[in-house]
Structure 1
Amino acid sequence: MAVGRESDMAPAGDVLIAGAGPTGLMLAGDLAAAGVRCTVLERRAGELNLTRAFGVHARTLELLDARGVAEELVRTGRRVRSLRLLRSVSFDLSVLPGRFPYVLITPQYETERVLAERALAAGARISWGTELTGLEQDAAGVDVRVRDAGGGERTLRAAYLVGADGARSTVRRLLGMPFPGHAAVRSMMLADVRLTAPPREAPAVGAVGDALALVVPFGDGWYRVVAWNRHHQAPDSEPVRMDELRETARRALGTDFGMHDPRWTSRFHSDERQVPAYRRGRVLLAGDAAHVHSPVGGQGMNLGVQDAANLGWKLAAELHGWAPPGLLDSYHDERHPVGRAVLRGSGAALRAALVEPRALRAAQVPIARLAAGFRPVARRLAGAVSGIDIRYPAPPGAHRLAGRRAPDVPLAGERGRLYEALRDGRFVLVVAANDRAVTYLATKRWADRVRCAVAGGATRTTALVRPDGYIAWATDETAPDRRAAAIREALTRWCGAPAEFPTHERRA
């Protein structure tokens, strides 16, 4: 069937998002909540009760908390306060700051459900059974060709297109963008099973050079098993046999925990790849469409959700007409280095776990155990894997807090916390109690983009917190006039040109 002519183009909203996984759904919810029309295109005909990802890290939970849905997701899973490295080394997540000092183990479909419900409630559309088949862009927008489940084709027009359609991204392919890298590990086995004798500690992790196994509880009687057998590197199309799964687990963990009754199995290979640029014109890439890496640390889904949190408010600012120059380009500038760091770190951890000479593996254990037991090192490991320590670049001479994650400080004068104040999608200017008069005129000119909140406790630092929970700017200036001038300058730089004062205020 011929694609519709330009005059027949169906309206789709300001942003089209390819892919209804966690990345696409997070982005759709953020855009819709900001008043941006958006449609998610998903080639699956409906939701599937299958999952690959199962760990939601602390920083992702904070971002979901800033959207009012973290507690609902937490209720679906199990909190794990330590992560195991190798077979006998673990590090403590309870050292992390914030309300979520753990990794939440829950099936990916629960994360998708929570994010889909939020997106739909905010006004986003999800078009199931819709496959993206082509795209063209110009200076004003993107034309996207799609095919529905019945074979009908049409063209949709949008201001921007975001490819959140996974490692085999159609959007990336249609753009002709390279995806350089290599296969990190082949023939990984996945299975959801029942266990006769569940492990006492969860998750259970083991690696012995020629075998690797991970057993994670979902909390409902089902367990996810991830296993790798160096001696059987089968293609992804080959079914997973339970006898191989059990035997691999016994080699890596010393037991197979009585695995039985699999409800789902799959085989896949894990690559380490990243696109050179996250943006090309009016098309952007996020999540696995932009980067894939080793599964060690369970950071993949989290990385994509955090991509979406960074991108959403910037796209909304661009579409609402107040984005300062370069804001949308900063999506690549900030997120590409984060993706590269995760790719390198998880890859190094995987290679360490699978190193073959037994003597070398044995030597790793005391070194790793010593490092994990040294509190500063353990805290750094926990901060890296959880995403808590992500820091974005700040300009020379910026305040020491610029680019850092904003802590969830209590607010005075109102019941709540900073991350509750972020739930309306605006910047939050956090000031000391005696600063309200100083910031009044500055903030009301940006009222559609900024809200002012008074920090609880004694503080002299004034901070402008971005909608994604990172500190854009801060000052310790105490002189009222200089502080007010600095605030106005920061608001102009980050939130665009201010609205004009009403006539009566100009006269005043």
Structure 2
Amino acid sequence: MNGTGTGLGTDPNPTPHPGAEDPTRSVIVVGCGPTGLLLAGDLAAAGVPVTLVEKRPHKISNLSRAIVVHARTLELLDARGLADEVESLGRRLDRMNLFTRLTVEFDTLPSRFKHLLVLPQYEIEPILERRAVAAGVRFRYETEVTGLSQDDEGVTVVTRGADGTTESLRAAYVVGTDGMRSTVRGAIGLPFPGRSVIRSVLLADVRLAQPPENILSVHSRGDAFVFFASFGDGYYRIVAWDRRRDTSESEPLDLEEVRQTVRAAAGHDFGMHDARWLSRFHSDERQAPSYRVGRVFLAGDAAHVHTPAGGQGMNIGMQDAANLSWKLASVLQGRADDSLLDTYQAERHPVGTEAMRSSGVIVRLAMAKHPWTRGMRAALTATLNTVTPIRRKLALQISGISVKYPAPDGAHRLVGARVADVKLEGGRLYEVLRGGRFVLITPEDCRDKTGLEDRLAVDRRTDRGSAGRTTVLVRPDGYVAWAADAPGLPAIEAAVEEHLGERISLAR
């Protein structure tokens, strides 16, 4: 996909960036949240030179809104050797209560992580940052993007530092992970259609004298709703809203207003006190029509935003990063054609759309205004609680486990599906994936027939837990690239060549 996008003002005589990497092989990531950190760390670990540009000073903010890590994101962190540390910091929750009556259960998920994890974004970012630093990512904090242009060979990004110095950075590709108000998205001329769904939502981190029974729960009554989540340190995150209080975000917020809103939604204020953070925000549903324009990509909130219901926002962004990173590395290292990058749009755009839909349904049910819509909510929650398959489907969707990517016509039924953490000869699949390589899983021991481990970016293991005859080629992000039932060696050779760009021979 070729194209040109130019936006913002540019300095006619920018200062060259000192010590820049080969621009034909490098990537610039703009935005240092979880999405950008994961993406940059992946690329650097794969040997791609990466510069991460962030306009904020170098510090981790404790004012982040994201507080939930879902099972699929934990699997991706596991594939990077980070899940155990993340799990040690958070609070596991095997079910989530919505509208008091509806329970979404995660303890039956087909995953090593049969729960969601309550852990604020500011606890996750340092872990991702340490990995990125160790992998060799070049960080440029207090650096603002002021211009961007691209041509057939690469992208030029003009930046301004804290001292006003203007510099020009050059790379083969640029990824904007710079949030809802993305400068990169504006620079390539992409709209961000959608609308504000809820205005004047209250955020508060407080202590509670009478904590709710559950670690994470949602209550609604009349014109108000409230979401509770325990941080495990005595503080609770509260997200509250009252239809009757439409206040500008610029208006100051005090603890008494939060108390009143929580009382309206839950019947009492749980004895809240000692607020360490109070804020207002509005919640939007927006999505860029394309996640790619030429050599520039969008990921995370720069590409899509939706209501916080279900806690999917940060998770979807990190999953975007995991999808894009291995594809960029494959193209830059000559193992794949540039057309591989078009699959990022085809695979991730529908996921963002579905997240907007599912979170929108939850928040609209919570916002139900008329008696008939509240009656519909009561009937729906009663149905979901009694129909196990529907409730299970909801858990799979919210957790990210159910995501399946489109497959070519005639492909095996498994192509595009997420692969569970199966036991392999060399360990668990997600341990093997830590090498950032494709994994060939075959029910037969092929050690005497191939030198794949030495010659290709493929790690072949024997699946001891499978009685079937299916051979599966797993992508670095844990999805099936190719599968076949009882294939011969020529079929495996052809699949590996197609997906890794190298000709091989498995015969002795």
Query: Where does residue 313 of structure 2 map in the other structure?
Result: 300
Structure-1 separation of matches of 2:170 and 2:19 = 6
Query: Where does residue 488 of structure 1 map in the other structure?
Result: 493
- Structure 2 contact 10–158 (Cα < 8 Å) conserved: no
Q: CA deviation at 1:7?
A: 7.6
Query: Kindly, what percent of the aligned residue pairs are identical?
Result: 51
Structure-2 separation of matches of 1:31 and 1:387 = 23
Query: Where does residue 472 of structure 2 map in the other structure?
Result: 463
Query: Where does residue 34 of structure 2 map in the other structure?
Result: 22
Residue 274 (str. 1) matches residue 287 (str. 2):
yes
Residue 472 (str. 1) matches residue 481 (str. 2):
yes
The alignment partner of 1:463 has SS state of strand
- Structure 1 contact 193–224 (Cα < 8 Å) conserved: yes
Structure-2 separation of matches of 1:389 and 1:60 = 12
- Structure 1 contact 324–493 (Cα < 8 Å) conserved: no
Structure-2 separation of matches of 1:367 and 1:343 = 19
Structure-1 separation of matches of 2:422 and 2:331 = 29
2:409 aligned residue (389, 396, 400): 396
Q: How does 1:326-337 map to 2 (within 5 A)?
A: 326-337=339-350
Amino acid at match of 1:132: V
Query: Where does residue 235 of structure 2 map in the other structure?
Result: 222
Residue 232 (str. 1) matches residue 245 (str. 2):
yes
The alignment partner of 1:197 has SS state of coil
Q: CA deviation at 1:50?
A: 2.2
Cα offsets for 1:115-156 (capped at 9, x unmatched): 111111111122211111111111111111111112211111
Query: Where does residue 427 of structure 1 map in the other structure?
Result: 438
| Residue range with higher mean Cα deviation, 429-438 or 23-32 | 429-438
The alignment partner of 1:276 has SS state of coil
* Structure 1 spans left out of the alignment, 5+ residues: none
Query: Where does residue 322 of structure 1 map in the other structure?
Result: 335
Structure-2 separation of matches of 1:429 and 1:197 = 53
Q: CA deviation at 1:407?
A: 0.8
* Distance 1:62-1:172 versus aligned 2 partners, 3 A rule: same
2:115 aligned residue (102, 109, 123): 102
Residue 253 (str. 1) matches residue 270 (str. 2):
no
- Structure 1 contact 39–124 (Cα < 8 Å) conserved: yes
1:89 aligned residue (86, 92, 102): 102
1:190 aligned residue (180, 198, 203): 203
Query: Where does residue 148 of structure 1 map in the other structure?
Result: 161
Q: CA deviation at 1:325?
A: 5.3
- Structure 2 contact 197–284 (Cα < 8 Å) conserved: yes
Structure-2 separation of matches of 1:360 and 1:286 = 35
Amino acid at match of 2:469: R
Q: CA deviation at 1:475?
A: 1.0
| Residue range with higher mean Cα deviation, 336-345 or 305-314 | 336-345
Structure-2 separation of matches of 1:404 and 1:2 = 44
Residue 136 (str. 1) matches residue 141 (str. 2):
no
Structure-1 separation of matches of 2:12 and 2:147 = 12
Q: CA deviation at 1:449?
A: 2.0
Amino acid at match of 2:432: A
Query: Where does residue 5 of structure 1 map in the other structure?
Result: 13
2:53 aligned residue (38, 41, 50): 41
| Residue range with higher mean Cα deviation, 378-387 or 428-437 | 428-437
Query: Where does residue 368 of structure 1 map in the other structure?
Result: 381
- Structure 1 contact 90–369 (Cα < 8 Å) conserved: no
Structure-2 separation of matches of 1:336 and 1:2 = 30
Structure-2 separation of matches of 1:188 and 1:153 = 38
Query: Where does residue 358 of structure 2 map in the other structure?
Result: 345
Residue 77 (str. 1) matches residue 90 (str. 2):
yes
Residue 309 (str. 1) matches residue 322 (str. 2):
yes
Structure-1 separation of matches of 2:132 and 2:154 = 23
* TM-score (norm. length: structure 2): 0.93
2:225 aligned residue (212, 221, 224): 212
The alignment partner of 1:326 has SS state of helix
Amino acid at match of 1:40: L
Q: CA deviation at 1:32?
A: 0.7
- Structure 1 contact 20–126 (Cα < 8 Å) conserved: no
The alignment partner of 1:277 has SS state of coil
Runs of 4+ in 1 over 3 A off after TM superposition: 1-7, 9-13, 433-438
Cα offsets for 1:446-465 (capped at 9, x unmatched): x3421111112233211000
2:130 aligned residue (117, 120, 133): 117
- Structure 2 contact 443–463 (Cα < 8 Å) conserved: yes
- Structure 1 contact 10–155 (Cα < 8 Å) conserved: no
Q: CA deviation at 1:331?
A: 0.5
Query: Where does residue 382 of structure 1 map in the other structure?
Result: 395
* Distance 1:224-1:437 versus aligned 2 partners, 3 A rule: same
Cα offsets for 1:8-64 (capped at 9, x unmatched): 344544111110000000001100110011011111112123221000000000000
Cα offsets for 1:355-407 (capped at 9, x unmatched): 11134313422432222332211110000000000000011121111111101
- Structure 1 contact 211–230 (Cα < 8 Å) conserved: yes
- Structure 1 contact 131–148 (Cα < 8 Å) conserved: yes
Q: CA deviation at 1:4?
A: 7.2
Query: Where does residue 5 of structure 2 map in the other structure?
Result: none
Cα offsets for 1:148-179 (capped at 9, x unmatched): 11221111111111000000001001111111
Structure-2 separation of matches of 1:271 and 1:384 = 20
| Residue range with higher mean Cα deviation, 260-269 or 385-394 | 260-269
Q: What RMSD over aligned residues (CA atoms) do the two structures have, in Å?
A: 2.0
Query: Where does residue 497 of structure 1 map in the other structure?
Result: 502
- Structure 2 contact 79–434 (Cα < 8 Å) conserved: yes
